[in-house]
Chains A and B, each alone.
Chain A
């Protein structure tokens, strides 16, 4: 009856673990994240997928680059000083649910044939991340912050068909199709 079984739950947990560790490391180091959204993926674009829905503190970002800009704005103090202070995200918890184990949008028939609904591959996953964001800390420690906030980030991830077709261990296995961020 149900296609939600252990494999999918475990694969979703693993995918979430990889994704969360990669994502917050990128933004803590001020590195790019825009390539991890469906908006910038040719396969999804060609299949007619709408841009990723990104909503940050109630404000909709039309493109991942806009979210990157907000992160950069948040990272830089308005007045640059020599001892540049940083913003650091520390994840306390995350959880993941498979919300569609038979995800097939934009997939080739071949991929659909190879990966069954219980294989933990063609999954649409909701990942829910919570933690603390520290403002004005040095890169080494979170001790001397000026402000700290609780943050909650909810993603919907969809398979990256480009890397699924290959056996490569590199490349993102999932892409972000929705992100809702709140920090308070």
Chain B
């Protein structure tokens, strides 16, 4: 048949019901066909019993809104119907969309329409593609010579049927494509233009060497002047936000941005409240230097919105603002920015103090106290541990027979860091990490629990050889232990006391089979209880759990095993007794030093004195240094109450 040259007569239109019960779930509730005044929501479909048309001709017979000439509906309401179908899950949601490219609109008469003829072309296709089915296309986009549109995959065949038809006096070519749908320009031409100009402004004002973004005196800037961004306040604020946003966009990652823009100058911008430039804090939270001089900030409240921002700000210039003459201005501002070291050219903090102040704003670990040994009066724990590790290193079978019996339980768990399982090979097959095993249904939960001295000894034999430091080197160990009641008495009657020992330390390891040598950090918990009659020792190990984790070298600071004082009773490792007769310093100086150290560190007078009189020998700097080193080990009672 000849390609249609335009909209056909009414008969064809009438033959096409807009939607039917067979597809339109919405209509299912309706008993009878309905057509509203315009005929476009004729989704009611046929009366019960009448089936959707199947025949090709459809002349007259099916059109419910017959003769009204309106059954094709407006695009809007058809789309609404389609959306509803999609929403209730019967429509296009299960159909994949296909992208179509349509060529030919440029030569058509419709090209002179306000939208380039896109709308009327799509309407044409929707109308013509299928006589029996109302097709709904997506929103079309005119890109170059092509109109891009998305259609349901099911409809593509019918639409392709129109390939070669002529529309508004010009033949159209329709092709399927897998090319990405043109998203169109996000910006209008003007916006893109403005963006280019702002980029030029940034290029002019960014100093890569100093990593400085100089946005001072924007009021006199030619580019902004030309953009007309200066006259009004709101326009100026908008352009500032745009500038900051675009500046941020130039860096791919947060790290790059942090590195790329370290300083910003907003000097001489007549800023009366930082609210106007607040976004700076969000875009550049890691800013280190900020120049706000010669603006119009007149009270602290005008800058207080930045109070909790710029945690890493080191230098701030506010000279030339009225607020600098306020009393207490510098103190207040210094408090707001923990890292601030230079305010208006004056040093307000040393780098150390800045680090301290920043630290004070983040949660800190609890103080670390030395070993807590509460094992009764007989030093059972230290005696046991001494023999235990000695034997574990040299004769594990003897160890098992001496301290373990048929009821003793042993298990170990290893926690390799991701990707390092190979380093843990000797241990992994025994690792009873219940979390990793996924609970009690895993047979390994039972299999990897070693019960009885002989099984334990056997397992131990297959583990690499170890060397533990002697318990006489208390700095290498943390030992916490305490007694507890209500173990079963081995005689079968009544309760017995138990001793729980938790040991944290490290050992050298030599795995000759795998040729692995190294050091591991471990935590090991023992439950000691009374032995059965006839055992070599009055107590036995009821339970022994060892957890192995990655070794952290002790030089690496806080993450390592902490230093433990030799005597558990000593509250603080550095608290050596005051050396009598340190000649040069008189009492008044000492009091001063103690006060100063107390002020700087927050320790109370007693601990400050201990710190100064210890190894520091009244050298203030040494004392401060030693405080820093031992800080984590100090009990909270060492500090003056701050609450």
CB contacts (< 8 Å) of B364 on chain A: these are 74, 77-78, 135, 147
CB contacts (< 8 Å) of B498 on chain A: these are 99
The 8 A CB mask of B417-441 against A (1 = contact, 0 = none) is 0000000000000011111100110
The 8 A CB mask of A96-108 against B (1 = contact, 0 = none) is 1111111101000
Within the complex, which residue of B360, B363, B409, B482 is in contact with A53, where a contact is CB–CB below 8 Å? B482
The A-contacting residues of B in range 401-418, CB under 8 angstroms, are 406-407, 409, 411, 413-415
Within the complex, which residue of B371, B545, B561 is in contact with A95, where a contact is CB–CB below 8 Å? B545
> Do A135 and B363 have beta carbons less than 8 Å apart?
yes
Shortest distance from the beta carbon of A176 to any chain B beta carbon, whole Å: 11
CB contacts (< 8 Å) of B368 on chain A: these are 57-58, 184
> Do A76 and B363 have beta carbons less than 8 Å apart?
yes
Q: Quick check: is B34 within 8 A (CB to CB) of the other chain?
A: no
The 8 A CB mask of B538-567 against A (1 = contact, 0 = none) is 000011010101001000001111100000
CB contacts (< 8 Å) of B363 on chain A: these are 74-77, 85-87, 135-136, 146
Within the complex, which residue of A59, A154, A183 is in contact with B502, where a contact is CB–CB below 8 Å? A154
Q: Quick check: is A17 within 8 A (CB to CB) of the other chain?
A: yes
Query: Which range holds the interface residue count of chain A?
Result: 35 or more
The B-contacting residues of A in range 38-84, CB under 8 angstroms, are 49-50, 53, 55-60, 70, 73-79, 81-83
Shortest distance from the beta carbon of A144 to any chain B beta carbon, whole Å: 10
> Do B446 and A6 have beta carbons less than 8 Å apart?
yes
> Do B366 and A74 have beta carbons less than 8 Å apart?
yes
CB contacts (< 8 Å) of A53 on chain B: these are 482, 484
* Measured CA separation A146–B500 after assembly (Å): 33
Within the complex, which residue of A97, A136, A184 is in contact with B504, where a contact is CB–CB below 8 Å? A184
CB contacts (< 8 Å) of B365 on chain A: these are 74, 133, 135, 147, 149, 183
* Measured CA separation A4–B480 after assembly (Å): 27
> Do B366 and A77 have beta carbons less than 8 Å apart?
no
CB contacts (< 8 Å) of B502 on chain A: these are 152, 154, 180, 182
> Do B413 and A93 have beta carbons less than 8 Å apart?
yes
Q: Quick check: is B453 within 8 A (CB to CB) of the other chain?
A: no
Q: Quick check: is A9 within 8 A (CB to CB) of the other chain?
A: yes
Q: Quick check: is A126 within 8 A (CB to CB) of the other chain?
A: yes
> Do B406 and A1 have beta carbons less than 8 Å apart?
yes
* Measured CA separation A17–B414 after assembly (Å): 17
Within the complex, which residue of B362, B367, B436, B449 is in contact with A146, where a contact is CB–CB below 8 Å? B362
CB contacts (< 8 Å) of B635 on chain A: these are 59
> Do A58 and B372 have beta carbons less than 8 Å apart?
yes
CB contacts (< 8 Å) of A6 on chain B: these are 446
> Do B547 and A95 have beta carbons less than 8 Å apart?
yes
Shortest distance from the beta carbon of A21 to any chain B beta carbon, whole Å: 9
Smallest CB-CB separation from A84: which chain B residue?
B363
CB contacts (< 8 Å) of B523 on chain A: these are 128, 130, 152, 182
> Do A13 and B484 have beta carbons less than 8 Å apart?
no
Residue of B364, B452, B485, B542 ringed by the most chain A CB atoms within 10 A: B364
The B-contacting residues of A in range 124-169, CB under 8 angstroms, are 124, 126, 128, 130, 133, 135-136, 146-150, 152, 154, 156, 158
CB contacts (< 8 Å) of A158 on chain B: these are 486
> Do B411 and A97 have beta carbons less than 8 Å apart?
yes
> Do B451 and A55 have beta carbons less than 8 Å apart?
no
> Do B484 and A77 have beta carbons less than 8 Å apart?
no
Within the complex, which residue of B446, B484, B562 is in contact with A184, where a contact is CB–CB below 8 Å? B562
CB contacts (< 8 Å) of A95 on chain B: these are 411, 413, 432-434, 545, 547
* Measured CA separation A42–B221 after assembly (Å): 76
> Do B433 and A56 have beta carbons less than 8 Å apart?
no
Within the complex, which residue of B360, B374, B409, B484 is in contact with A4, where a contact is CB–CB below 8 Å? B409
The A-contacting residues of B in range 565-579, CB under 8 angstroms, are none
* Measured CA separation A102–B543 after assembly (Å): 15
* Measured CA separation A174–B557 after assembly (Å): 38
Given contacts A59-B635, A147-B364, contact A2 B542 (CB under 8 A): no
> Do A178 and B485 have beta carbons less than 8 Å apart?
no
* Measured CA separation A142–B482 after assembly (Å): 34
The 8 A CB mask of B508-552 against A (1 = contact, 0 = none) is 000000000000010101010100000000000011010101001
Smallest CB-CB separation from B406: which chain A residue?
A2
Give 19 new A-B contacts, CB below 8 A, not counting A77-B362, A135-B364, A148-B559: A2-B451, A4-B407, A4-B451, A10-B445, A14-B439, A50-B485, A55-B372, A77-B363, A87-B363, A92-B435, A93-B431, A95-B432, A128-B547, A130-B413, A130-B523, A147-B364, A154-B502, A178-B484, A182-B502
Q: List 27 A-B contacts (CB under 8 A).
A: A1-B406, A2-B451, A10-B445, A13-B445, A14-B440, A17-B434, A55-B480, A56-B366, A57-B366, A60-B372, A77-B363, A78-B642, A93-B431, A93-B436, A95-B545, A95-B547, A97-B411, A99-B543, A100-B488, A130-B547, A147-B364, A149-B365, A152-B523, A154-B502, A182-B478, A182-B480, A184-B562
* Residues of A bordering B, CB below 8 Å: 1-2, 4, 6, 9-11, 13-14, 16-17, 20, 49-50, 53, 55-60, 70, 73-79, 81-83, 85-87, 91-103, 105, 124, 126, 128, 130, 133, 135-136, 146-150, 152, 154, 156, 158, 177-178, 180, 182-184
* Residues of B bordering A, CB below 8 Å: 308, 359-372, 374, 406-407, 409, 411, 413-415, 431-436, 439-440, 445-446, 449, 451-452, 478, 480, 482, 484-488, 495, 498, 500, 502, 504, 521, 523, 525, 527, 529, 542-543, 545, 547, 549, 552, 558-562, 635-636, 642
